[in-house]
Amino acid sequence: MSRSTLILRACLAAAAALSAMPAAALEPAHVFAKVAPSIWEVLVADATGRPTALGSAVVIGDGLAITNCHVLRGGKQVSVKRGNATFGARLLYPDVERDLCQLRIADFHYPAVTIAPSSTLVTGQKVYAIGNPLGFDLTISEGLISSLRHDESGQLRAIQTSAAISQGSSGGGLFDSNARLVGITSRMVSAAYGQNLNFAAPADWINDVPARAQKALAERAAALSTAKAAAAPPSGTTPATATPRKSGELGPKAQAGFAEYLRKPWPKVFVAADGDEFIYQWGQNAEFRAVSWCKERYQNCSIYARDDTVVEGK
């Protein structure tokens, strides 16, 4: 074998080894500069234009962004903003169970982030949260992955981090040292109960949002169709109309449901509707899920109780 061939093989082996090595970690300023164009503020308003909530969003494709569903709860108008630029947005795919909602934004052409597989994450690695805490746009905070929280089946359910987030950070990005998106910052534990306890949804869940949203919609449509068929009056009879419910009052069926509801853990919400109908939910985004599903099925839905406190009629 010639000397030149040996040298060529050595060079190729060295190049292969270098390509297999992880990319060098970027300085925080470089991480920020690389991903900042992909981080936007989410503004939510009611039907009259009155602001109701703010949060953050991350660009995931041309004209597409991801945020937390709880940011959009109860809103009728949604826009994304950064500096002097504002774009109207609409909800495209909601994955309420995982609290991830995909937005469609017209004439919105900004760079999409790179998503890191959850399999590459390790406890102790450095991460950066970038969002709009309390409306302070494009804020970066540094921390570690404090823990990777799994469910009973071993599936990753949440990324715990010491990177600081606040109200307004919901829907923002959690990035690794190579400026890859590892999570969507979603919630924190109040300082009154703990310190540096912040959580993000795994970023690779984003890829599942359209399919999961369409499946959930199909399931709700099937359940609604079944319920309507079961409630349909016999042929030749006049269908009964739902009796309007008086504020603060529950019918016998709803009273029995409320007794069950009181045994559920916080956070929870009980929504009542006309015709002695009701829906209750507990856990993350309970209010959003309960109100949304009630409005799909019944008339004049209203929140009767939050946690163990009756709020209606007070």
* pLDDT tens for the chain, residues 1 to 314: 555 554 556 555 544 444 434 568 899 999 999 999 999 999 999 888 999 999 999 999 999 999 999 999 888 899 999 999 999 999 999 999 999 999 999 999 999 999 999 999 999 999 999 999 999 999 999 999 999 999 989 999 999 999 999 999 999 999 999 999 999 999 877 555 557 789 999 999 999 999 998 888 777 767 766 666 666 666 555 555 667 877 767 888 888 888 888 888 888 899 999 888 999 998 867 788 888 888 878 888 888 888 878 887 54
Q: What is the strand order of the sheet 277-282 is part of?
A: 277-282, 268-273, 302-306, 309-310
User: Which of the residues 38, 56, 70, 169 is marked catalytic?
Assistant: 70
Residue 122 belongs to some domain of the structure = yes
pLDDT for 19 equals: 42
Where a domain ends, among 159, 181, 208? 208
What b/e string do you get for 13-31 counting C-beta neighbours within 10 Å, with b at 16 or more?
eeeeeeeeeeeeebeeeeb
CATH number at residue 70: 2.40.10.10
Active site residue 30: no
Residues 89 and 56 in one domain: yes
What is the pTM (predicted TM-score) of this model?
Answer: 0.67
Verify whether residue 99 is a known catalytic residue. yes
> Residues 111, 38: contact at Cβ < 8 Å?
yes
Per the omega criterion (within 30 degrees of 0), is the bond before 37 cis? no
Pick the catalytic residue from 38, 56, 99, 166: 99
pLDDT at residue 20, rounded to an integer: 39
What range does the domain containing 305 cover? 243-314
Instruction: Looking at the structure, tell me whether residues 95 and 137 fall in a common domain.
Output: no
- Tally of domains in the chain: 3
Q: Which of 56, 166, 169, 170 is catalytic?
A: 170
Whether 247 is in a domain gets the answer yes
- Domain co-membership, 143 together with 196: yes
Q: Are residues 274 and 309 in the same domain?
A: yes
Residue 12 lies in a domain: no
The separation between the first and the last C-alpha atoms of the chain, rounded to the nearest angstrom, is 91
